[in-house]
């Protein structure tokens, strides 16, 4: 990196952060094995809360653009995460949305099918493992004799990193494969980066990496993974399993089809695709072998009981619609259309 | 929610070879129909990617109509059957997202069926009027309601995290 700040060690500064995500991305960084030592040779890691001690206050004191590279994983679900996203954006020359959550919302984004109230109801009251006899829920403000205590505000809708602040690059995957992380780090270290706003990765689909043989696909019945033991050599979609390899960006080496399991789309949409689910719907609709409206409806309803989880498993928050319709009032908000959804059931 | 004064905004993707001409015919024949459909001409219903429909809804449409040649009459072989399958797939997904399926309509109308298309448009307009506005953006856009919470973090950090030297 030519414009690197001269730090006492002559190295660049690296920050890693973890917002609404499972933590797998943090492990994935360590998956580059001893190459992490090369990273440490090139960068001073100044902030990485998962791995080393460090204070937000120290980041706040870094001059703007004083961090050369920030790898940010996780979506934005709370005011604190939004604060950290803005802070790290301001302090970083290059901000990378690292992994599916930062890129597309991923599994935490599927909670966009619920409102904040519904999520709290499940998490603090309904789950069998919850022991909360007084029905306590986290409050953004609590008065105590010493003053007022604050907790981050929980949003109704999870946002992706680029719906929150401008992002320079995306590293897809849940989590990104270590080889791809290393490719990206090498590109960054050597200053050989694609134009800002790009996904650092392949521009083909998982199907291209998949070794299975393909024929014309004509489906009369979609199958769930537990219903059949698929033939190991034939395209899974041809066998009726919904495989997202057709819409998903290559990069993993077709890991899931290799072990006889359909791709579920963790690498996100291939280049040029705006809405992953729309691409999936279009492709999956095309393989249905029927021209009869009733038969088509039956094939779809029986074979795809959870269309959002099937077509938007990793990408709901980043989709054109971003979430399911709010029925309850989230954060005290009265929904726009209260009765229409009910009217039709 | 029935709001009599609410004028639905409906985006119509009309096939060039039939339904678009049907709309033209309805116009020249002075058939009266609801003015609520903004028409976009496509070469075939098969050209209507589900992305178009989602984008229309995301950008403020209250409903979307896809109209094209009758089964068997598509100018590009079987593309309108593909449109039919996509339409059913979309409806299935929209329902799961809490969007009433009647906000999406697939209509067959040949170039000679100006009256039928006009009637379908008026009927859909009434249906969507009864369903009420969709206002999708309000569903996720939380505006600046968290600004204060975000800003107060910076203030609190400055006050509370300073360790005296
Ligand atoms: S659809 Fe799935 S199984 Fe078939 S070729 Fe593509 S990745 Fe392989
Ligand atoms: S096959 Fe699909 S789901 Fe599996 S790792 Fe690759 S991109 Fe992810
Ligand atoms: S040409 Fe009209 S629907 Fe295909």
CA atoms of B130 and A68, how far apart (whole Å):
55
Residue with tokens 């509370």: B160
CA distances from A27 to A9, A16, A99, A263 (A): 27, 12, 12, 22
Count chain A–chain B contacts defined by CB atoms under 8 A: 154
Look over chain A and give the mean of its residue pLDDT values, rounded to a whole number: 91
Cβ–Cβ < 8 Å for B46, B80: yes
DSSP label of A123: I
Residue with tokens 């005290």: A332
Q: In degrees rounded to 5, what are phi and psi of residue A161? A: -60, -40
CA atoms of B85 and B75, how far apart (whole Å):
18
The H or E element spanning position A155 is strand A154-159
**ipTM of the predicted structure?**
0.93
pLDDT at A7: 52
Q: Is the pLDDT of residue B165 over 80?
A: no
Domains of chain A in start order, with CATH, are 3-108+156-189 (3.40.50.700), 206-318 (no CATH)
Q: What is the dihedral of CA B99, B103, B108, B113, to 10 degrees?
A: 180
Residues contacting ligand 2 via CB (< 6 Å): A 206, 248, 252, 254-256, 263-267
Domains of chain B in start order, with CATH, are 10-161 (3.40.50)
Q: Give pLDDT tens digits for A131-175.
A: 999 999 999 999 999 888 889 999 999 999 999 999 999 999 999
Proportion of chain A above pLDDT 70, given as a percent = 92
Q: Is the pLDDT of residue A336 over 50?
A: no
pLDDT at A157: 97
C-beta B14 within 6 A of ligand 3:
no
Q: Is the pLDDT of residue A331 over 90?
A: no
CA atoms of B122 and A42, how far apart (whole Å):
66
Q: Is the pLDDT of residue A264 over 60?
A: yes
Q: Give pLDDT tens digits for A204-235.
A: 999 999 999 999 999 999 999 999 999 999 99
C-beta A212 within 6 A of ligand 1:
yes
Distance from CA of B139 to the nearest CA of A (A): 6
Q: Is the pLDDT of residue A123 over 70?
A: yes
Give all strands (DSSP E) within chain B, no chain letters. Answer: 10-15, 37-42, 63-68, 104-108
pLDDT at A341: 43
The pLDDT confidence band at residue B164, using thresholds 50, 70 and 90, is low
Cβ count near A78 (within 10 Å): 20
Nearest ligand 2 atom to alpha carbon A173: 8
Of A202, A210, A270, the residue with max ligand 1 atoms within 8 A of its CB, to mutate for a pocket test, comes to A210
Cβ–Cβ < 8 Å for B105, B145: no
The pLDDT confidence band at residue B4, using thresholds 50, 70 and 90, is low
Q: Does A53 touch chain B (CB under 8 A)?
A: no
pTM above 0.95, yes or no: no
pLDDT at B134: 94
CA distances from A282 to A39, A198, A263, B84, B135 (A): 42, 25, 17, 11, 25
Q: Is the pLDDT of residue A333 over 70?
A: no
Q: Is the pLDDT of residue A5 over 60?
A: no
């Amino acid at each position: 990196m030519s414009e690197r700040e001269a730090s006492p060690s002559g190295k660049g500064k690296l920050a890693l952060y973890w917002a609404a995500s499972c933590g797998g991305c943090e492990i994935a960084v360590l998956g580059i094995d001893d190459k992490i030592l090369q990273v440490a040779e090139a960068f001073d890691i100044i902030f990485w809360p998962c791995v080393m001690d460090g204070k937000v206050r120290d980041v706040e004191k870094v001059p703007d653009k004083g961090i050369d590279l920030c790898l940010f994983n996780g979506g934005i679900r709370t005011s604190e995460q939004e604060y950290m996203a803005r802070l790290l954006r301001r302090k970083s020359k290059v901000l990378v949305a690292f992994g599916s959550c930062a890129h597309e919302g991923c599994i935490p984004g599927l909670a966009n099918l619920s409102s904040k109230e519904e999520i709290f109801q499940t998490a603090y009251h309904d789950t069998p493992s919850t022991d909360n006899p007084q029905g306590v829920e986290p409050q953004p403000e609590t008065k105590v004799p010493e003053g007022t205590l604050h907790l981050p505000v929980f949003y109704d809708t999870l946002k992706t990193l680029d719906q929150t602040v401008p992002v320079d690059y995306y590293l897809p995957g849940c989590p990104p494969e270590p080889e791809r992380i290393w490719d990206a780090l090498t590109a960054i270290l050597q200053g050989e980066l694609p134009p800002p706003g790009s996904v650092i990765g392949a521009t083909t689909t998982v199907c291209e990496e998949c070794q299975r043989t393909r024929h014309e696909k004509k489906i009369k019945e979609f199958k769930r993974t537990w219903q059949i033991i698929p033939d190991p050599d034939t395209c899974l979609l041809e066998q009726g399993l919904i495989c997202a390899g057709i819409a998903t960006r290559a990069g993993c080496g077709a890991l899931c089809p290799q072990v006889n399991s359909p791709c579920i789309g963790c690498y996100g949409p291939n280049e040029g695709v705006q809405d992953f689910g729309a691409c999936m719907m279009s492709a999956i609709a095309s393989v249905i072998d029927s021209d009869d409206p009733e038969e088509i409806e039956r094939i779809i309803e029986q074979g795809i009981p959870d269309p959002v989880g099937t077509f938007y498993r990793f990408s709901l928050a980043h989709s054109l619609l971003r979430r399911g319709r709010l029925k309850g009032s989230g954060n005290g908000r009265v929904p726009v259309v209260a009765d229409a959804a009910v009217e039709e059931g | 929610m029935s709001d009599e004064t609410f004028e639905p905004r409906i985006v119509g993707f009309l096939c060039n070879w039939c339904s678009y001409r049907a709309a033209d015919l309805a116009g020249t024949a002075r058939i009266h129909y609801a003015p609520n459909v903004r028409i976009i001409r496509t070469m075939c219903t098969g050209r209507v990617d589900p992305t178009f429909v989602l984008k229309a809804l995301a950008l403020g449409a209250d409903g979307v109509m896809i109209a094209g040649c009758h089964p068997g009459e598509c100018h590009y072989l079987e593309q309108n059957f593909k449109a039919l399958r996509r339409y059913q797939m979309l409806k299935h997904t929209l329902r799961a997202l809490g969007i009433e399926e009647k906000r999406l309509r697939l209509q067959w109308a040949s170039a000679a069926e100006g009256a039928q298309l006009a009637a379908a448009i008026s009927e859909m307009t009434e249906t969507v009027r009864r369903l009420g506005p969709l206002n999708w953006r309000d569903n996720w856009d939380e505006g600046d309601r968290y600004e204060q919470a975000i800003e107060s973090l910076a203030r609190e950090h400055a006050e509370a995290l300073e360790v005296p030297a």
